[in-house]
Structure 1
Amino acid sequence: MPYLSRIRINPLRAESRKLLASPRAMHAAVQGGVPGLPEQARTLWRLDPDNPHRPQLFVLTTDKPDWTHLVEQAGWPDADGEHYAIRDYAPLLQQLAPGRSFAFRLTANPVQNTSRPDKPTTLQQTRIEAGERRRGFRLGHRTATAQLNWFLSRTERWGFEVPTASHLDKTQDPDDDTPRDIRITKRQRRSFGKGLGTAKEAHVVMNSVTFEGSLRITDAALLTERLLAGIGPSKAYGCGLLTLAPLPDRE
């Protein structure tokens, strides 16, 4: 049974600063709240810093978690109020049906696969010269236009469509005849070590992008699969968690 959690993070604490600065450290902290072994279940998480003074961590788990350690290390353990909330995800999944619309948010790592990068790194060049090209190379999209096209070109396989917008968003192509109800709210290039040593190959570089907008369900089974399994690569580092919410009233 899946559960969606929301945890309040205190950005002024030393441990919080460590977690906020390192997706690898945050991933380890998230895994610490799940009773099962990491290889037994998929865990998705996303950090939402809408208010930088009160960032919130969202986590989707297959088992019911316990976030006491996160509150003690990176929250307000002795303060009043709800330190974290855990909700059964099944009621939301039961609401999914073709034609229904929701607001959504997703932080993803838009990538493309290529057999030969235009500007290969030293490690990539070594692989090319050694003939290790069967799997190709995964490169991140760097421009907002390419990142937006990555998202919109894949919605059908994810079980939804993004409806047309009533106005043209600044992140979209002004020459597009059918602007969609989607916007990019944050773009960030992250670079950090994997914690496997000092070798250059033990390094992660990713371009995380936060998309927000509205969607209309076309295939409830496909969307359910994406909600539970995540979207795109870098899921261990805060990408892939798609969340839904009721659409705000619009006049």
Structure 2
Amino acid sequence: MKYLTQILINKRDALQHRLTDSYRWHQALWKAFPSPAGTPRSFLSRVDNYGQNYRVYLLSDRAPMMQPWGEWATREIASNFLEYTHYRFDLRANPTIKRIIRSESGERKKNGRRTAIYDPDQLNEWLQNKAQQHGFTILNVEVGAPVTQHFRRKNRQGKHICVDFRGTLQVQNQNHFKDAFQIGIGPAKAFGFGMLVLQPLG
């Protein structure tokens, strides 16, 4: 990812533009990256409450096309940004466990069911496992309380469990760590989860 964009929008204006849940945000932010149908998503996003506003972060491989709402500011990420060894991090994730589902004959089905994690110890274990997969270790972390986010998609209700992880990390494998920054961590990335917000230390 080469560009970081910050968007500020007043909550009243967001309501007028029907930015009322994660799926609405998902649809609105896609419009900033016009592409032929079927093109894979090329950005990560995150939406925060910010006083009377929403603050949106977009991490993308190309500069977004500014939309007719909010205040948009885009900058190119420094070429050496991912070359440090220690960072302060902020990760909003959708921690889940994939359960195995079997047919009546006992055969394992291809697609399992994701179950949300609520237990603090299991949340910490989930993060530690993700860190190991993505080439870094957690030095310290504060785990936020799980929050349920509801959304409506094609007249059907859905929900995600949202957990904020904040702390410091140490990079062990530069390539895997860069991949985590590029593609995000955990499921539901199209709905505003998985972006690794980083601040270099030292």
Pairwise same-fold verdict (TM > 0.5) = yes
How far apart in 1 are the matches of 2:21 and 2:163? Answer: 16
Moved over 4 A (4+): 127-132
> How far apart, in 1, do the equivalents of 2:112 and 2:146 lie?
25
1:147 correspondence with 2:123 = yes
> Helix, strand or coil: the match of 1:63?
coil
Amino acid at match of 2:99: T
Tell whether 2:192 aligns with 1:233. Answer: no
1:206 alignment partner in structure 2: 160
Q: Deviations over 1:204-242 (max 9, x none)?
A: 322111111111111111111111111111111110111
- Counterpart residue type for residue 27 of structure 2: A
Q: Distance in 2 between matches of 1:214 and 1:64?
A: 29
| Match of residue 82, structure 2, among 81, 92, 96 | 96
Pair 1:41–1:206, CA change in 2 (3 A): closer
Q: What is the Cα-based RMSD across aligned positions, in Å?
A: 2.5
Partner of 1:42: 42
| Contiguous gaps of at least 5 residues in structure 2 | none
**Which residue of the other structure, out of 142, 146, 156, is the alignment partner of 1:187?**
146
Q: Which residue of 2 aligns with 1:56?
A: 55
Whole-angstrom CA distance in 2 between matches of 1:230 and 1:216: 17
| Identical pairs, percent | 24
Question: Is the deviation greater in 53-62 or in 228-237?
Answer: 53-62
Q: Report the TM-score, using the length of structure 2 for normalisation.
A: 0.86
Equivalent residue number for residue 156 of structure 1: 132
Equivalent positions of 1:74-85 (< 5 A) are 83-85=71-73
Structure-to-structure mapping, 1:100-111, within 5 angstroms:
100-111=85-96
Aligned residues: 200
Which structure: larger Rg?
1
Higher helix proportion (structure 1 or 2): 1
Q: Which runs of 5+ in 1 are unaligned?
A: 72-82, 117-126, 164-180
Which amino acid is 2:148 matched to? R
More strand by share: 2
